[in-house]
Homo-oligomer: A and B are copies of this chain.
């Protein structure tokens, strides 16, 4: 049974590369063609560097932007994890554009990428996604990274980073000791975390000597936590 503080592991996908197309490129030819084909308004369409590559040259900070596929695969990995199936994981996303997305652990995300994008577009437009019987599966609101950390409670903030100390059972046990931890994983394609995220971390841990895809880093950290948490219960 969970205690009143909730699941022991809170996963926070940070600087997630998921945002609506910004107004300054709504009129670019590749954006217009893409939206026309899909019968959508650019205002309520996700930025996707696979399709809006040319238009994105007009934006700043593009090395981290326009990759909702990273968020999709990483969420599939996290929501399907044994830790989540056993009720010991809470999944949050904080996007580069400043949205905090909370995901009910029972959510079955669309497996197909286009449908995932459609769901995220609806979420960012409406602020929530609700089932037919009224259960809130997804919620989105604007929050800073620091505000989200405060909401998640006073647990150690563990940042996955290839410069960190090697992740080991004793290190994780020490961090979990006080009742739980917040695991922060970057969900952007290139570049490093912002200073705000780096400075918010209590400890940096690495799962491998070189940079890993976000979904691989997530699965390895969850796998190590499962070894500690699921064998004790």
For the complex, give the distance between the alpha carbons of A125 and B26 in Å.
Answer: 38
Task: Determine whether the beta carbon of A80 is less than 8 Å from that of B215.
Answer: yes
| Interface: A128 (CB within 8 A) | no
Interface size of A as a range: 20 to 34
Give 5 new A-B contacts, CB below 8 A, not counting A73-B111, A77-B216, A114-B114: A48-B112, A69-B112, A82-B220, A219-B219, A219-B223
Q: Which chain A residues in 207-231 approach chain B with CB under 8 Å? A: 207-208, 210, 212-213, 215-216, 219-220, 223-224, 226
Question: Per DSSP, are chain A's interface residues mostly helix, strand or loop, or mixed?
Answer: helix
Q: Measured between alpha carbons, how far is A85 from B50 in the docked complex, in Å?
A: 25
Please judge, given known A-B contacts A50-B115, A82-B220, A112-B113, whether A77 and B215 are in contact too, CB under 8 Å. yes
Q: Within 8 Å of chain B (Cβ to Cβ): is A178?
A: no
A70 within 8 Å of B (CB atoms): yes
**A3: min CB distance to chain B, Å:** 23
A72 to B28, CA, bound (A): 31
Is there an interface contact between B50 and A216, defined as CB atoms closer than 8 Å? no
Specify which chain B residues have a CB less than 8 angstroms from the CB of A224 in the assembled complex.
Answer: 223
Chain B residues with Cβ under 8 A from A67's Cβ? Answer: 111
Report how many copies the assembly holds. Answer: 2
CA distance A48 to B112 in the complex (A): 10
- Judge whether A76 is part of the interface by a CB distance below 8 angstroms: yes
Out of B50, B82, B216, which one reaches A207, CB within 8 Å?
Answer: B82
- List residues 13-61 of chain A with CB under 8 A from any CB of chain B: 48, 50
Q: Point out the residue from B73, B111, B212, B219 that lies within 8 Å of A220, measured CB to CB.
A: B219
Q: Do A213 and B80 have beta carbons less than 8 Å apart?
A: yes
User: Does A81 lie within 8 Å of B115, measured CB to CB?
Assistant: no
